[in-house]
Amino acid sequence: MKKSLLKRVSAVALALTLAAGMTGCGSKGSAAPTNAGSSGEGKTEKTVLNVWHQWSNDTNELKKKYDEAVAAYLAENPNVEINTQTLDTEAYKTKISAEFAGDAKGIDVFYYWGAGTARKMINADKLLPLDSYLTDEIRGKLLEGSTAAFEYNGKTYSLPSFSWYMTLYCNKALFDQAGAELPDTYDKLVAAVEKLKALDGVTPLASGAKDGWNAAFIYQALALRTVGAEGINKMLTGQAPFEGEGYAEAADKVQELYKMGAFGANPLEQGNDDANAAFGTGRAAMRLMGSWFANGIYTDKAVTINPEDVVAMKIPMITGKGNETDYCGGFVESFWVNKSTKNPDEAAKFAIYINEKMGEAAYESGTGFSGWKTEVDEKGLNPLFVQIKDLLFQGKTSVLAWDTSLDAEPATIHNEQVQTLFAPGADTGEFIKEHEAAINK
Amino acid sequence: MNNMLGKKRFVACFVLPALILFISFSMIPLFISGAYSLFQYDGMGEMKFIGLVNYIRLFAEDRHFVKAVLNSFLLVGASLLIQLPISLLLAMVLARGVKGEKFFRTVYFLPVVISSMVIGQLWMKMFNSEYGLLNHLIRALGASDFSYSWLSNPKTAFLSTLIPAVWQYIGYHMLIFYAGIKSISQDYYEAAQIDGASKWQVNTKITLPLLAPVIKTCVIFSITGSLRAFDLIYVMTGGGPNHASEVPATLMYNNLFRRGLYGYGSAQAFFIVVECLLFTFIVSKLFKKAEENASAI
């Protein structure tokens, strides 16, 4: 009898320990976010802002600049505490969309892309409009036409930070070696590819096509010339359908370049980083990339080519088509405020501040062009970036990267479909049909 | 102890924690995705009830999904016809007491311990057109300018992911078989030896029939594992190029997190669950008789 009593008691004790252990875990987990809202015990309450962005690599110039800007902000606003979290681009996008499927309680301010990418969040009323925080002083500092990607239904949800410009980077040393001419037209590009192919171990144009957006850049550049910026913008904003010869012609040209071996034998094996490395080490003569790529040529330790050999070119013209003042790029990245934040005023204030600072920082470090008219020290600009700046000043009408303008579904289909052009047996008809089905809904 | 287990309160006490965890992290999410699959939902906006439209779309409109399901069946076939027989053979050889039994057991089990991400990276390197082991081998055999890209060519992409997927879990099943064989009483073998049975007879008349419950477990693991395969394929090809190596789970991931189609993606997720349950049920039925025979011995 005694024995069984002991057993019973021990059994109940065991069960209780288990249950206690579990509830212990549970309460710890759920208490974490509320703890984050207040800091210290018994000290004065600080406003904590949870900020998310995608510059996760410590060597990234923009990450350093962000950290500096935050430190400066904290010094001026001692009542605020800023808690920054970062993730790599693809993981970051997934994280943000998963968080915002709920209330995204752990996010106050976050980095995101405007135009088509944020539209889903606007429609679901997840973002805070900043209009009531925009004083005339702030509005006066903004560059004209830089806010288009952040305005929805007449409201402004974010402010620009920096813009980018799609550039054809050419390694002049390799061009000289092959006896090729720098390409300002498509025909010259084809001629250059023919000559560059003959160099041993050199890919004429590193595509990075394993990453869909890298592949898409090449198609978008050619479509910019065959269709024109105005036509593409109409298509991207739903004012015109995806139709016309231009789109098919651009696809044919990508295929033509692929078949010539412009992107190497198996372009789908190399992603963005591989292609950047190939260009940086002289294993590729050209790279079509955003203006942010320029900075790395000077600062990245893995780069072995002489930065002075690199020439920034416009997207080559196709004879008889398009406008030379059209370009790919623009303002699309910036910091946004979660509508369900507990501190909308502080969050909005910080978002406006950090957008301005990152705009300036991007310009100073030669990675992008500020959307703010503030004076910036231009001494530190690298020569390549100055070249790109001159190209940008010649530009009039810009097209954003298609995957940031379109909704998520057509954007994904677009990137996937462009990748098919970088493999044998691509079918332009199929490519066009898939685009029509995705975009002309 | 019997006394204690007889009391329902005690049973409940012990079962409850695990049951709560299971219900809240497996059953409830399952029903939620089942519910989502009946809606048109982008993950954050309004949910619009559309009944079974998502399921109709799966089979009537989405050729990628049909292709993905066929691919997953190929993987099931390869697992059953290649992976399990090799595992069984290795287990039988090892269980017989080869020299260095422990060493081989560890070596064969090694791929199971390594993360799928790492295995994916390793095999990607092997299949690389320039510096890959496979192409080096082919070049060494005479085709000096051979530079075929196995993973970025739609014709060979899925086949190339199939090989590591099958290879990776050979050790896992081998270990289960091995444990099963070791647990068969030596008495049977001694009796067979006295009766003068050949090795073949011992294997087919004693080991295999008594191993039926273990084989059933492995077959179920192998089938369900193949139907919901994701990590290795995601790392190696991401389902590409042009959806050639897609399996239902990679397509589901793509739909949910890239395209933002939560309703449609949930329908795919739910399909995978139902498919796995169905196959488990069928395999259990098929093995019923063999299991009865095993327990009758």
Query: Is residue A26 predicted with pLDDT exceeding 60?
Result: no
Q: Among B251, B219, B216, B232, which residue's Cα sits nearest to residue B70? A: B251
Provide the percentage of residues in chain A whose pLDDT is more than 70. 90
Same domain, A176 and A253: yes
**Calpha distance A291→B115 (Å, rounded):** 37
Question: What's residue A30's pLDDT?
Answer: 38
Q: Say how many C-beta atoms besides its own lie within 10 A of residue A149's C-beta.
A: 24
Domain that holds residue A299: 167-314+406-439
Question: What's residue A24's pLDDT?
Answer: 41
Contacts of A11 in chain B (CB under 8 A): 4, 10, 13-14
By Cβ distance, the residue of B4, B44, B153 closest to A11 is B4
With CB atoms and an 8 Å threshold, state whether B242 touches A4. no
Which comes out higher in pLDDT, residue A426 or A110? A110
Same domain, A255 and A119: no
CA distance A133 to chain B (A): 26
CA distance A160 to chain B (A): 25
Residue B292 sits at the vertex; the CA angle it makes with B290 and B293, to the nearest 5 degrees, is 65
CA atoms within 13 A on the CB side of B20: 10
Q: Which residue has the tokens 């047996």?
A: A425
Same domain, A177 and A291: yes
Q: Say how many C-beta atoms besides its own lie within 10 A of residue B33's C-beta.
A: 20
Same domain, A356 and A274: no
Backbone angles phi, psi at A79, to 5 degrees: -80, -5
Query: Is residue B154 predicted with pLDDT exceeding 90?
Result: no
Structure tokens belonging to residue B14: 């012990």
Asked whether residue A240 is assigned to any structural domain, the reply reads yes
With CB atoms and an 8 Å threshold, state whether B242 touches A121. no
Residue A155, domain CATH: 3.40.190.10
Q: Which residue has the tokens 């379109």?
A: A406
Same domain, A146 and A103: yes
CB B35 within 8 A of CB B218: no
Chain-centroid distance of CA A241 in Å reads 25
Helix axes A115-123, A408-420, angle to 10 degrees: 150
Same domain, A200 and A83: no
By Cβ distance, the residue of B1, B149, B257 closest to A266 is B149
Query: Is residue A145 predicted with pLDDT exceeding 90?
Result: no
Asked whether residue A141 is assigned to any structural domain, the reply reads yes
How confident is the model over B208-223, as pLDDT tens digits? 999 999 999 999 999 9
Query: Is residue B275 predicted with pLDDT exceeding 60?
Result: yes
Structure tokens belonging to residue A68: 């500096």
Instruction: Categorize the per-residue pLDDT at B1 as very low, low, confident or very high, splitting at 50, 70 and 90.
Output: low
Same domain, A179 and A293: yes
Residue A265: closest CA among chain B residues belongs to which residue?
B147
Spell out the domains of chain B, with CATH numbers in brackets: 63-296 (1.10.3720.10)
Asked whether residue A21 is assigned to any structural domain, the reply reads no
CA distance A154 to chain B (A): 20
Q: Say how many C-beta atoms besides its own lie within 10 A of residue B49's C-beta.
A: 11
Give the amino acid at B296. A
Q: What is the mean pLDDT of residues A95-113?
A: 90
Chain-centroid distance of CA B66 in Å reads 19
CA distance A423 to chain B (A): 7
- Pairing mode, strands A326-337 and A397-399: parallel
Asked whether residue A351 is assigned to any structural domain, the reply reads yes
**Calpha distance A49→A425 (Å, rounded):** 52
Q: Is B14 on the interface with A (CB under 8 A)?
A: yes
CB A365 within 8 A of CB A296: no
Helix axes B63-78, B157-168, angle to 10 degrees: 40
Same domain, A152 and A172: no
**Calpha distance B161→B236 (Å, rounded):** 7
By Cβ distance, the residue of A11, A14, A269 closest to B149 is A269
Which comes out higher in pLDDT, residue B7 or A256? A256
Which comes out higher in pLDDT, residue B119 or A116? B119
Question: What's residue B297's pLDDT?
Answer: 66
Same domain, A344 and A415: no
Give the H or E element holding residue B63: helix B63-78
Same domain, A372 and A417: no
Beta strands in A233-301 (DSSP E): 284-289
Same domain, A420 and A360: no
Contacts of A124 in chain B (CB under 8 A): 42, 44-46
ipTM > 0.95 for the complex: no
CB B297 within 8 A of CB B210: yes
Which of B258, B259, B261, B262 to mutate against chain A (most A CBs within 10 Å)?
Answer: B258
CA distance A22 to chain B (A): 8
CA atoms within 13 A on the CB side of B25: 6
Backbone angles phi, psi at B49, to 5 degrees: -70, 125
Mean pLDDT (chain B, rounded): 91
Query: Is residue B109 predicted with pLDDT exceeding 50?
Result: yes
Range of weakest confidence among A85-89, A218-222, B143-147? B143-147
CB A183 within 8 A of CB A192: yes
Kindly state the DSSP code that residue A113 receives in the 8-state scheme. E
With CB atoms and an 8 Å threshold, state whether B13 touches A419. no
Contacts of A93 in chain B (CB under 8 A): 257
Same domain, A198 and A74: no
The total of structural domains in chain A comes to: 2
**Calpha distance A297→A308 (Å, rounded):** 10
Kindly state the DSSP code that residue A41 receives in the 8-state scheme. S
Can you give the C-alpha Rg of chain B in angstroms? 23
Asked whether residue A210 is assigned to any structural domain, the reply reads yes
Provide the percentage of residues in chain A whose pLDDT is more than 90. 68
Contacts of B19 in chain A (CB under 8 A): none
Q: Is A32 on the interface with B (CB under 8 A)?
A: no
